């Protein structure tokens, strides 16, 4: 398909933008009368093409102003052709608002008129902040909290989502209801990674503590290895996670996944990313090397890009404008969606409007009709410069870890083994962390002479990088490793004597 065929025109887009959803038939919304379709991208290894714009579950779906009907926002997104829908157990009434829209759209299994084909054409994602599926470990150290009942475990949140999205909102859900993906939300400490992986490799119903991943795998596969799925239900299609803050923790979460259980990742990606501990140079390359689906969030940094103010604690004010004259939302959206590795970007919507020029949803979807490589490096740099003028680039400080420079190779280990005619020195290390530019390679130095080069590649497992040096003597030697980024900056380890 050509570029021109992929991108809908403004006129055609406005034709498909439904200004009054009441009374619409699904044929009108999705039928052959639509001349164009929204741009879609492959969603990692998930065998699904996802629209480049995804509807976020916050905005007015969570913090609803008195004069806004959140259900109409959902219905309008459906009518335009959006097929990625985000919500969470942590987002107050968001799931229930989706449930009302899904009832209207005949997406409730078992109801008269259930449209199974339409249900299978959309990707519905919810989130849980519960790290444990079994056990008594619920302290904040593990980030174990929810909007549900105190003492809830991971599967309680899963069933709560299904009840609010497709059921009666009181714990019941119909046969055939499912979520396309559940995200373990906001992973930001290594202790949380330990918690969610607990019992995954040695799953047993007799285990005192079982982490979220083992239980979600049961509800994905229809198995009962944990003893927590006695009906052997299949309630989810995919498992993922999100992180806002710490790239090292997020990379650890991916690297520990030996069996490719984790299919998707949700992370911040905005035009000020390089002024923080960068997601685009650290986490995204690892996720894409494993062919995970990558979803961007915080495109507008919670609205701070437009307001110039940090997010307040408690309920957030909903931004109901389309950028501002100094920093249009279109530029920010296009920066995110041309970041290598991004499949879709979720955006919360404050309001919709009958005038497409004033409709936040319409304009944000229009801006999202862009190919992954459509902006040049210079265009992306210009957007970064515009964004940097707001709050000195610190628009996401309430979520993202502060910037760190290029790091030296980590966890270096050196040993030697005798061989016929000499010995072999084996040097191993784990990935360096990139700063505001990507890594390119590692240099190996011996006795102040460079003896080797190893190209950097995303470290997708816990297997380290390795370099071997053959020696024909029995003398002591000094080794050091150097990480190098794309503009030639270096970070050097201490000397290691062997």
Q: 429 lies in a domain?
A: yes
Residues 320 and 431 both lie in one domain: no
Residues 116 and 182 both lie in one domain: yes
Assess whether pLDDT exceeds 80 at residue 100.
yes
Residue that is written with structure tokens 């990742």 in the block: 265
Q: 401 lies in a domain?
A: no
Assess whether pLDDT exceeds 50 at residue 10.
no
CATH number of the structural domain spanning residue 456: 2.60.40.10
Percent of the chain with pLDDT over 70: 89
Assess whether pLDDT exceeds 70 at residue 364.
yes
Residues 349 and 484 both lie in one domain: no
Assess whether pLDDT exceeds 80 at residue 8.
no
Residues 258 and 376 both lie in one domain: yes
Q: 402 lies in a domain?
A: no
Residues 353 and 418 both lie in one domain: no
Domain, as residue range, for 148 = 3-393
Q: What are residue 78's DSSP bridge partners?
A: none
- The pLDDT tens digits for 80-92 are 999 999 999 999 9
Among the residues of 311-433, which ranges form H helices?
329-337, 360-367, 377-388
Domain count of the chain?
A: 2
Instruction: Report the pLDDT averaged over residues 68-81.
Output: 97
Strands 422-430 and 465-471: antiparallel
Last residue of a domain, one of 326, 358, 393: 393
DSSP string, 324-358: -SSS-HHHHHHHHHTSTT--EEEE------SSTTT
Assess whether pLDDT exceeds 70 at residue 308.
yes
- The pLDDT tens digits for 366-376 are 999 999 999 99
Strands 449-455 and 439-446: antiparallel
Last residue of a domain, one of 342, 358, 393: 393
Q: 405 lies in a domain?
A: no
Among the residues of 171-315, which ranges form H helices?
190-197, 212-221, 247-255, 283-289, 304-307
Higher-confidence position of 35 and 12: 12
Q: 403 lies in a domain?
A: no
Token pair for 178:
């499912």
Q: Which residues contact 122 (CB under 8 A, 6 or more apart)?
A: 78, 83, 84, 85, 107, 180
- The predicted structure's pLDDT at residue 1: 39
Handedness of CA 37, 42, 46, 52 (dihedral sign): negative
Instruction: Report the pLDDT averaged over residues 216-220.
Output: 98
- The pLDDT tens digits for 120-178 are 999 999 999 999 999 865 555 555 666 666 678 999 999 999 999 999 999 999 999 99
Residues 389 and 416 both lie in one domain: no
Residues 355 and 448 both lie in one domain: no
Residues 304 and 421 both lie in one domain: no
Residues 377 and 460 both lie in one domain: no
Give this prediction's pTM: 0.91
Token pair for 283:
């986490």
CATH number of the structural domain spanning residue 330: 3.20.20.100
Higher-confidence position of 494 and 147: 494
Q: 400 lies in a domain?
A: no
Residues 268 and 370 both lie in one domain: yes
Instruction: Report the pLDDT averaged over residues 270-289.
Output: 97
Residues 373 and 438 both lie in one domain: no
Assess whether pLDDT exceeds 90 at residue 20.
no
Q: 399 lies in a domain?
A: no
Among 16-25, 104-113, 451-460, which stretch is predicted with the lowest mean pLDDT?
16-25
Each as own residue / partner, the long-range contacts of residues 410-419 (CB below 8 Å, 24 or more positions apart, any chain) are 411/464, 412/481, 412/493, 412/496, 413/464, 414/479, 414/496, 414/498, 415/498, 416/471, 416/498, 419/470
- Rounded CA-CA distance 82/54 in Å is 6
Among the residues of 126-246, which ranges form H helices?
154-166, 190-197, 212-221
Residues 228 and 199 both lie in one domain: yes
């Amino acid at each position: 398909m050509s570029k021109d065929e992929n991108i809908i025109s403004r006129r055609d887009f406005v034709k498909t933008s439904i200004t009054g959803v009441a009374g619409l038939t699904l044929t009108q919304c999705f039928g052959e009368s639509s001349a164009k379709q929204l741009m879609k991208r492959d969603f990692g290894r998930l065998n699904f093409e996802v629209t480049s714009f995804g509807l976020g579950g916050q905005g007015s779906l969570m913090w609803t102003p008195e004069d806004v009907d959140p259900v109409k926002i959902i219905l309008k997104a459906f009518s335009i052709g959006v097929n990625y829908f985000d919500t969470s157990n942590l987002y107050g009434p968001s799931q229930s608002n989706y449930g009302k829209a899904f009832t209207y759209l005949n997406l409730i299994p078992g109801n008269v008129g259930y449209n199974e084909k339409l249900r299978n054409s959309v990707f519905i994602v919810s989130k849980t902040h519960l790290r444990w599926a079994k056990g008594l470990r619920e302290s904040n150290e593990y980030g174990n909290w929810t909007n549900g009942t105190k003492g809830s475990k991971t599967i309680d949140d899963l069933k709560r989502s299904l009840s609010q999205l497709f059921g009666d909102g009181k714990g019941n859900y119909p046969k055939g209801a499912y979520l396309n993906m559940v995200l373990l939300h906001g992973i930001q400490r290594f202790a949380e990674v330990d918690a969610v992986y607990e019992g995954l490799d040695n799953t047993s119903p007799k285990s005192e503590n079982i982490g979220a991943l083992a239980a979600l795998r049961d509800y994905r596969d229809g198995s009962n290895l944990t003893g927590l799925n006695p009906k052997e239900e299949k309630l989810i299609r995919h498992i993922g996670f999100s992180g806002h803050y710490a790239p090292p923790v997020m990379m650890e979460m991916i690297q520990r996944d030996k069996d490719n259980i984790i299919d998707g990742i949700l992370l911040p990606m905005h035009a000020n990313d390089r002024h923080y501990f960068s997601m685009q140079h650290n986490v995204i390359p690892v996720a894409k090397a494993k062919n995970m689906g990558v979803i961007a969030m915080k495109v507008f940094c919670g609205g701070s890009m437009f307001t110039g103010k940090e997010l307040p604690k408690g309920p957030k004010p909903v931004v109901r404008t389309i950028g501002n004259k100094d920093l249009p939302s279109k530029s920010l959206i296009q920066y995110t969606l041309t970041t290598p590795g991004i499949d879709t970007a979720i955006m919360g919507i404050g309001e919709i409007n009958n005038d497409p020029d004033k409709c936040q949803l319409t304009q944000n979807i229009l801006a999202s009709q862009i190919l992954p490589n459509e902006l040049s490096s210079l265009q992306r740099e210009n957007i970064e410069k515009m964004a940097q003028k707001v709050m000195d680039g610190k628009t996401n400080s309430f979520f993202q870890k502060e910037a760190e420079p290029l790091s030296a190779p980590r966890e270096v280990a050196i040993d030697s083994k005798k061989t016929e005619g000499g010995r072999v020195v084996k040097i191993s290390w784990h990935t360096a962390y990139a700063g505001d530019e990507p890594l390119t390679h590692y240099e190996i130095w011996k006795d102040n002479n460079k003896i080797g080069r190893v190209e950097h590649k995303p470290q997708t497992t816990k297997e380290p990088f390795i370099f071997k040096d053959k020696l024909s003597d029995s003398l002591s030697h000094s080794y050091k490793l150097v990480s190098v980024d794309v503009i030639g900056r270096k970070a050097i380890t201490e000397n290691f004597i062997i």
